[in-house]
Amino acid sequence: MKTLEIIIILVISSASTILGADAHQTPITLDKAKELGRMKSRFLNVTDTGVPATRSVPEANVTYFRDFVGPSLKKSCIACHGPEKSEGRLRVDQLNPDLLAGADVERWREVYNVLSNSEMPPEDEPSYALADADRGDIVDWLSGELNKASVMRRNKQEHSSFRRLTKYEYNYALQDLLGLPCTFANKLPPETASEDGFKNSSELLQMSAMQFETYREIGLKALKRATVSGERPKPVTYIISMQEELDRAASGKAAKTFDQNDGNYSQNRNRQHLFDRETGKGIQFSSGKSIPQPEAAAGQTPAVSPVVLVLPRSNELKLNLDRFLPDEGIMRVRIRAGRSTMNANEYASLRLIFSAHTSNNANFSQVISERDIPITASADDPQFIHFDIPLGDIQRNPFRKLTTTFPRRDEFLHIHNVSNAGSRGTPLQVLIDYIEISAPFYEQWPPKTHTDIFVESDDKSDEDIYGREVLTRFLKHVWRRPVTSQEVDQFMALYENYRPGFSTFEDAMLEVLATALATPEFLYLIQRVDANSAEAHSTISDLELASRLSIFLWSSIPDDELLELAEQGLLREPEILTAQVKRMLADPNSKRFSQTFVEQWLGLDGLDSVAHVTDSSLREAMQEEPIAFFDEVLRHNRSIMDFIHSDYAMVNERLAAHYQIPRVYGPHFRNVPIEPKTNRGGLLTGAGILTMNSDGKDSHPLKRGVWMLERILNDPPPPPPPNVPEVDLTDPEILKMTLKERIADHRNKPACISCHSRIDPWGIAFENYDALGAYRTQIQNQPVDATSQLFNKQTLAGMDGLKRYLLTDRQDQLSRAMVHKMTAYALGRPLSFSDRADIDILTTQFRKTDDRLGDLVLLIISSNIFNSK
């Protein structure tokens, strides 16, 4: 692998080796490394206005062929594959050694395969034998040239940002358009990730008839959910008062009550029970049964009762709601609850689970609350919390409407206490005195989602005028631009065509609006060509910028404010643009940016394909950590060098326990200062990343190395050749080896060495972290050997050494990689050679801001490349 880029790195790093030579005995601190590395930046040290050329267009290395490869081939191959004989119709003397410009790439690939697998020259032809060193040279040269050729081919294509919305963007767009936080897009097929890992990459976002039909179906369904017809439906309401439950339970024949003065009270109090806080009497209680009360009104606030349900950690109240919940609509569950103790280190939250028994020995259950809701009030002053559950979206008991009683028709709601309460002393418990369940629940009638579409108007009685009003408004949001009256005419014509088939205006109009949701201007990100300037890279319009912005930071369509500024032509005013970006990042929807970008950039869905994380709260925390970390750096506008190392970690209680960081309580992520001895800090030591790059039993240095190169350094290794020899695990000699030795053994095969010497050392530096990312100093009673040597002879002493090396010698590459990745994501297209200059300019600007992540977002948004077609 001798691309120019590597040569450049070699030059720089050899300089650094000299610089760092005297520090060899006592390694510098990582902070020092950050400073030192920054001083070496080429981007910051440019004197002229020009931009340093990075990764210039690859060139074929024909010299090396002429001097070394050609003569070797001639010696060993030409007798059978030359002018005399041309077996397999191959003449090596006629292959064009310029793989980038020539037409023989495929033939060269064959040569590469047979040489790297030692299939040629044939063993029984000793006179043509190829020395291992020569074979290595040829294979090395070919692997380098083949890789350059494929980079070349990929990068030559021009890519456009014109693309359809991804599945998740479409989902968010519908949510924001209709004001409904539902999952709409499940039926759409998943997206394919680009080589950069991005799912929003224009060349991969296809369309098919099946998908088109699904859009139409989803659109109509979503509109029907947002709107209502007829009278406000009467809700069913269940009221569960713990006072009444206690009265009922205590009157039972076998009722076993207890008193807080009893000797065994300490046992009883830690089980789930009903308790009268005034009398000190209690009774065990785990499940209730309730039927709707016809006269009950939801939304009550009865006086606080001394009788409460005591719900200890991990316990749940299972409520049998029989079969009266409606099929559709929101179920609002209101719970008045407080905490038994107020120790700040303990938390308790409630989660809802829904279940039914479909036969004996078979049941199903499902968590239906989107997130756990913390209980923060004290038991003396309990407060209401509520959950809103869309009944049409959850798995219901399909037998609830049977007229017979088997299979069972009833449905169960479980109220579950998720908590970190300790078991000693006076543990934190949740005390509930009142529960109210009501469905369908409406804040108002007709709901806002309805009146946002069918707006209030004086012209409601005139269907033609009102229809135009509804359409004009709706189309503007769907298309993210003002619409012309001719465009409205088209849709009115469709409406008139439909109207006779429906009994109401609304029903007919919904079908028309659903058609609007299937138009390309909703499903795609449009960039129109200026009638006057037909240049390829002209500037996008203000309205198109508004859409690009909102897709970048919100993964969705622009809101009214953005559209208005764009319409007035003000959006590009620098102060206004800056203020808007600030506003957008302050909006909760910007969490989508942190989440989708980080998931794709780092390939976090890799966690879904490993099965060795059995603790679901650990898995969730692993998944969340890099997102929380990115979000922290973004919101505090910190340097992205924190991704390599930071003196803080973003953890919640579960992850902190995994990292052995003490005194972190609760499920939310927060910034915690850490000591070097935790061996954490930055993204590389994140348990999720280490875990997904493991093989289930142990660490996987190769995966970790490839991940580093692809995601962090943006220097992806070439894909493995076909027919790579497998490591033979039946060979007792190999079984005896340590993992590192095994890797070295594999690497030393001529077919493998060229790529592996570039990958393995990176991964070996991670060896102090096991398959779950826990820190270790021993593997099977042997000390961990995490020291490796890069191809440029640079020694990496474990994770610390790796971080130090990256910070000292690779800052430019790290910055540029970040700029490259985020720009590719922001544009929704792969970058190519022609984008290089723009990326270099951005990198220089970015480095000048001290690599601050928040500034990068603004730099990208203000850049030429972001504002061009």
Partner 1 sequence: MINNSSYLLNRRSFLHGTGVALALPWFETFAAGSPSSEETPKRFVSIYHPDGVGLPLKSDPAWKDWSWFPRGGENDFELTKVLDVLEPLRNDITIYSGLSHPAARTVHGHSNADQYLTGAATGGHGPYRNSISLDQVYAKQAGEFTRHSSLVLSTNGGVGGPRGAQTQSFNQEGRPIPAMNKPKQIFDLLFVTSSKDAAARLARSKSALDLLIANTRSLGRQLSKHDQETLKQYLDSVRDTEVKLEKAQKWLDTPVPSVDARNLHLDAEPREARLYFQTMYELIYLAFLSDSTRVATFQLGRENGEGPHDLLSMAVGLGGAHGLTHAVKKPKGWENLGTYNRYQAEEFGRFVQRLKDTPEPTGKGNLLDNTLAMHGSASSSFHLSRNYPIISAGGKNLGFTNGRYLKFGKGNEDNQAGAGIVSDAGWRGKIEAEELPLAQLFVTILRRLGVETDTFGGYTGTLSRV
Binding site for partner 1 (CB under 8 A): 158, 160, 162-164, 186-187, 202, 206-209, 211-213, 216, 356, 358-367, 395, 397-399, 404, 406-407, 490-491, 493-494, 497-498, 501, 511, 514-515, 518-521, 523-524, 526-529, 536, 869
Q: Which is nearer to partner 1, 127 or 405 (CB)?
A: 405
Q: Which is nearer to partner 1, 39 or 536 (CB)?
A: 536
Q: Which is nearer to partner 1, 407 or 720 (CB)?
A: 407
Q: Which is nearer to partner 1, 267 or 365 (CB)?
A: 365
String of DSSP letters for 241-310: EHHHHHHHHHHSTT--EEETTSTTHHHHHTS-EEEETTT-EEEE--EEE----TT--SS--PPPPSEEEE
CA distances from 81 to 10, 75, 90, 469 (A): 37, 11, 5, 77
CB of 424 to partner 1, least distance (A): 31
Encoded tokens for 319: 């409520």
Q: Which is nearer to partner 1, 291 or 536 (CB)?
A: 536
String of DSSP letters for 36-73: HHHHT-TTTT--SSS----SPPP---HHHIIIIIHHHH
Q: Which is nearer to partner 1, 654 or 829 (CB)?
A: 829
CB of 101 to partner 1, least distance (A): 25
Encoded tokens for 286: 């785990």
CB of 216 to partner 1, least distance (A): 8
Element (H, E) at 848: helix 836-848
Q: Which residues of 822-853 are buried (b: 16+ CB within 10 A; e: fewer)?
A: bbbbbbbbbbebebbebbbbbbbbbbeeebbb
721: three-class secondary structure by DSSP: coil
Q: Which is nearer to partner 1, 365 or 789 (CB)?
A: 365
CB of 402 to partner 1, least distance (A): 9
CB of 404 to partner 1, least distance (A): 7
CB of 47 to partner 1, least distance (A): 39
Sequence-distant (6+) residues with CB within 8 A of 296 are 237, 238, 239
Q: Which residues of 61-76 are buried (b: 16+ CB within 10 A; e: fewer)?
A: bbebbeeebbebbebb
CB of 401 to partner 1, least distance (A): 10
Q: Which is nearer to partner 1, 497 or 789 (CB)?
A: 497
- Beta pairing partners, 651: 670
Residue 586 phi, psi dihedral angles, 5° rounding: -80, -20
CB of 517 to partner 1, least distance (A): 11
Encoded tokens for 52: 């340093």
Q: Which is nearer to partner 1, 212 or 384 (CB)?
A: 212
CB of 365 to partner 1, least distance (A): 6
- How many C-beta neighbours within 10 Å does residue 211 have? 15
d(CA 412, CA 409): 10
Q: Which is nearer to partner 1, 26 or 404 (CB)?
A: 404
Q: Are strands 330-339 and 383-390 parallel, antiparallel or unpaired?
A: antiparallel
CB of 500 to partner 1, least distance (A): 10
d(CA 10, CA 705): 19
Rounded to the nearest angstrom, the gap between the alpha carbon of residue 619 and the centroid of all alpha carbons in its chain is 14
String of DSSP letters for 771-838: TT--B-SEETTEEP--EEE-TTS-EEEHHHHHHHHHHHH-HHHHHHHHHHHHHHHHHTS---GGGHHH
Please check whether residue 546 is in contact with residue 868, taking contact to mean a CB–CB distance below 8 angstroms.
no
Encoded tokens for 850: 């001290």
Q: Which is nearer to partner 1, 145 or 544 (CB)?
A: 544
Q: Which is nearer to partner 1, 476 or 869 (CB)?
A: 869
CB of 169 to partner 1, least distance (A): 16
Sequence-distant (6+) residues with CB within 8 A of 788 are 760, 761, 762, 764, 765, 795, 796
CB of 868 to partner 1, least distance (A): 12
Q: For residue 366, which of 322, 388, 396 has the smallest C-alpha distance? A: 396
